[in-house]
Structure 1
């Protein structure tokens, strides 16, 4: 027998074994649509991934696999499956997916996207204890109170003239003012300046993080900048780096000139510079680490908070009976002579369930994203190491098997006996606006003090007249990493009471 037939049969055997292995492996993945070569299922995905995944899940079930170009992913829209993935297998899915834009803009040093290791654990402790702990949040209460008063005064001035207000812009400025002062002790005036530039850059970063870059998911295009993404995110990085370098340098000069007897509430920059200068710190921080953390907080703490209040207010405008019930609760608990404050929120249960209901139907981040650090068995399926996990919170909130009349805005659902114990702290897998487990959002406590108070103050003082001809707010969404409304919320504020801050 000649050598050539042996080589042929050996090659055929090896090829057959590889094909059988691939078939066996694919059968162990969750159900999936037919994929096209190279692009996978990209032809089935629209600009809003959570909408596309929701549509596919109605056909392929609550756990399905998907190929985004060269990248394997699994998608779930089931609370039970989510609990198994993010609680039972929390360590396995303790990583987040990155991208070329994320690596560049976060100096490849992001706390939000860092792997679960010593650096991430140190930064988690630092942010949750030093910056976002109860003691620090109490110290920053005057900032939150003052910004809320400024917002209400501005709306009162507009109500006197009957002028319309872009509520979207004003809420964004409001939340940006708070986070900028907590981080950098600077305030956005709306007329330029460092905080205004931070706000602009934060919006650009959020947008580019949410856009689809073909070079990230199709390996043959990895070295090409087909859509001009690389040029855009490098320009954003250059401007952001220049801004922060200037802020940090100026703060270092002030720290050297400051007298030891001077005391003030430390902002995030002071806390990080203390760590940077501490030779005995368990983790050696660099300036890049500081800059990356600022980007994390700017992008996470501005858009999502303002967006939640905006969605809730839009729903109340479209549901006047719910709005009236909320206003009656505030009048009974707070009255009309003083403005509602954070200490009132525990006594405003209806306001709290309005926020919960808004989170359910309009989650600020519609897709939780994780990456498998090792193979994981879920039921009869194997999720391979490196697979991306998408938890579709938007779809979960619209599941008729989980929620009665899921498309209806009904805050009362959270007052029923079956749902009254559900909170937003990551323990109830039907409602996860802040994520869950070790990768849960560290800003949860700040948000749950700020959001209900802001919404309550706005509806305590005003009714809002929509400028659209039919008097109804358009509730369509705009694509992105978050789920903003497609159109800015523009209303005429109509005063219903004048608390002492405006007299």
Structure 2
């Protein structure tokens, strides 16, 4: 109590002006709605407390940023001060926080991993070299869906999108499929979804660190178990590839694993096996379910808007040709398809909150954000703000046809992949996936059976014949 009093007096003397926000009682009263409809509920609270809102639970202070101008302050003006990530307790499973590009603070190791991603894994040269691997996965998906159509079988687009995304990633990373068929839920889907769910499940330990030794919800134990299952698959796969590379007649696969092992062999600061496993865990978890969700929701929007579907089909027919495959190199010639993807990312951002952590006390728009506070950029509210977007809740790709607004982190009303130094390094691969999959889906002459778009932020399944 004395410590709290002294801190309060110190704050008054230093002119500390924390952002407004709901009381703990208000948070408790709204807890059910925050769990069921977090984005809509936070948007309602934002209308009461403003675009910089403070949540205080236990020992954790969370600042929610819900306007374009304040987002720019965090992501550009004060990017260095907010360049660290929130330290979730589940991220300590298998010491993942010590190797993870996602959870590491800005440090020499983080800079090394970031450089490897930019210069090697997601460079234009690397993606071009591995394009044939992704093309094969895309053609296989198209063949499976066509066969289901001929057999008059229902295809769950959510499962198909997940299979395509995880196999795109696994084939790009190690020239291997992790899921065999559209109907195969598989161990990998369960592993990825479980890890994602535990990361985003409110954890008492994050608010009350003294509970860490008890792990009362079992989230860290659960995460450790599922990461272990993935590592048990990756370990022999990496060992096998290392053994193959020692043979004289080895021919490179031009995949990410070969690139990482090549870096390890020629560098004094080796990219060792432990780092490779944790990097692939980051790519797999961050790049599959979120991408599949964006793909599914964009497809759903197009299916519910026949005029948009007609325009996409017309563009594809005139530019690519009827019955021809969409290649990654074709995307530059398909402005309407690109606009559809941007609009899908606007309305359904794959990760609706961008988490940052304040490295020091920072004044933002007249309010003091304290050191150690978790800062969330509320992309969901920003991308649906009627003061920024005309007809904000209407799916309208046309808004991007005569606009220079892009998704590469320079326009703060649309940052699906983040911005600044913590921007998602894999966004070029994600965009390729979204463009090609939506182009192929729009070109399929299939009868559609689509559920209503009820909750735009929920991961509903989409069915098509």
Fold conserved between structures, TM > 0.5:
yes
1:457: Cα distance to partner? 1.1
- Name the residue aligned to 2:225: 235
Matched, 1:97 2:118: no
Matched, 1:457 2:445: no
Task: Determine helix, strand or coil for the equivalent of 1:96.
Answer: coil
**CA distance in structure 2 between the aligned counterparts of 1:16 and 1:104, rounded to whole angstroms:** 36
Of 255, 258, 262, the residue aligned with 1:270 is 258
Count of residues in Structure 1 that have an aligned counterpart in Structure 2: 463
Q: CA RMSD in A?
A: 2.7
Which whole-Å deviations, capped at 9, do the CAs of 1:441-493 have from their partners, x for residues lacking one?
A: 11121222221121011111234421xxxx5433425xxxxx552x311111x
- Name the residue aligned to 1:354: 340
Of 85, 97, 102, the residue aligned with 2:74 is 85
1:53: Cα distance to partner? 2.2
**CA distance in structure 2 between the aligned counterparts of 1:269 and 1:67, rounded to whole angstroms:** 43
**CA distance in structure 2 between the aligned counterparts of 1:385 and 1:269, rounded to whole angstroms:** 38
1:302: Cα distance to partner? 1.2
Matched, 1:388 2:388: no
**CA distance in structure 2 between the aligned counterparts of 1:16 and 1:218, rounded to whole angstroms:** 20
- Which entry has the higher C-alpha Rg, 1 or 2? 1
**CA distance in structure 1 between the aligned counterparts of 2:304 and 2:385, rounded to whole angstroms:** 22
CA distance change for structure 1 residues 205 and 327 in 2, over 3 Å: closer, same or farther? same
**CA distance in structure 2 between the aligned counterparts of 1:26 and 1:368, rounded to whole angstroms:** 28
Are the equivalent residues in 1 in contact too, given 2:244–2:250 (CA < 8 A)? no
Task: Determine helix, strand or coil for the equivalent of 2:350.
Answer: coil
Of 405, 413, 427, the residue aligned with 1:422 is 405
Are the equivalent residues in 1 in contact too, given 2:39–2:380 (CA < 8 A)? yes
**CA distance in structure 2 between the aligned counterparts of 1:19 and 1:217, rounded to whole angstroms:** 20
**CA distance in structure 2 between the aligned counterparts of 1:44 and 1:157, rounded to whole angstroms:** 42
- Name the residue aligned to 1:329: 315
CA distance change for structure 1 residues 92 and 98 in 2, over 3 Å: closer, same or farther? same
- Name the residue aligned to 2:464: 491
CA distance change for structure 1 residues 275 and 31 in 2, over 3 Å: closer, same or farther? same
- Name the residue aligned to 1:207: 197
**CA distance in structure 1 between the aligned counterparts of 2:430 and 2:26, rounded to whole angstroms:** 44
TM-score (norm 2): 0.92
**CA distance in structure 2 between the aligned counterparts of 1:273 and 1:133, rounded to whole angstroms:** 17
Of 145, 150, 158, the residue aligned with 1:160 is 150
**CA distance in structure 2 between the aligned counterparts of 1:96 and 1:17, rounded to whole angstroms:** 28
**CA distance in structure 2 between the aligned counterparts of 1:26 and 1:489, rounded to whole angstroms:** 53
Matched, 1:409 2:399: no
Are the equivalent residues in 2 in contact too, given 1:38–1:70 (CA < 8 A)? no
Is there any run of 5+ residues in structure 2 with no aligned partner, and where? none
Which whole-Å deviations, capped at 9, do the CAs of 1:377-435 have from their partners, x for residues lacking one?
A: 1132111111111000011111111111111111111124xxx0100000000000111
Are the equivalent residues in 1 in contact too, given 2:52–2:63 (CA < 8 A)? yes
1:196: Cα distance to partner? 5.2
Q: 1:139-158 to 2 correspondence within 5 Å? A: 139-158=129-148
CA distance change for structure 1 residues 182 and 484 in 2, over 3 Å: closer, same or farther? farther
Are the equivalent residues in 1 in contact too, given 2:323–2:443 (CA < 8 A)? no
**CA distance in structure 2 between the aligned counterparts of 1:349 and 1:403, rounded to whole angstroms:** 20
**CA distance in structure 2 between the aligned counterparts of 1:18 and 1:211, rounded to whole angstroms:** 31
1:119: Cα distance to partner? 0.8
**CA distance in structure 1 between the aligned counterparts of 2:374 and 2:365, rounded to whole angstroms:** 18
Task: Determine helix, strand or coil for the equivalent of 1:64.
Answer: strand
Task: Determine helix, strand or coil for the equivalent of 1:56.
Answer: helix
- Name the residue aligned to 2:293: 307
Q: 1:6-17 to 2 correspondence within 5 Å? A: none
Matched, 1:473 2:446: no
Task: Determine helix, strand or coil for the equivalent of 1:186.
Answer: coil
Which whole-Å deviations, capped at 9, do the CAs of 1:120-146 have from their partners, x for residues lacking one?
A: 111111111111111110011111211
Task: Determine helix, strand or coil for the equivalent of 1:370.
Answer: strand
1:23: Cα distance to partner? 5.2
Are the equivalent residues in 2 in contact too, given 1:73–1:388 (CA < 8 A)? yes
- Name the residue aligned to 2:64: 75
Matched, 1:221 2:200: no
TM-score (norm 1): 0.85
**CA distance in structure 1 between the aligned counterparts of 2:420 and 2:308, rounded to whole angstroms:** 33
**CA distance in structure 2 between the aligned counterparts of 1:179 and 1:292, rounded to whole angstroms:** 15
**CA distance in structure 2 between the aligned counterparts of 1:39 and 1:108, rounded to whole angstroms:** 34
CA distance change for structure 1 residues 197 and 273 in 2, over 3 Å: closer, same or farther? farther
1:24: Cα distance to partner? 6.0
Which whole-Å deviations, capped at 9, do the CAs of 1:318-363 have from their partners, x for residues lacking one?
A: 1111111211111111221422222221121111111111111100
1:42: Cα distance to partner? 6.0
CA distance change for structure 1 residues 186 and 305 in 2, over 3 Å: closer, same or farther? same
Are the equivalent residues in 2 in contact too, given 1:40–1:70 (CA < 8 A)? no
Of 407, 424, 429, the residue aligned with 1:446 is 429
- Name the residue aligned to 1:33: 22
**CA distance in structure 2 between the aligned counterparts of 1:37 and 1:163, rounded to whole angstroms:** 49
Are the equivalent residues in 2 in contact too, given 1:374–1:384 (CA < 8 A)? yes
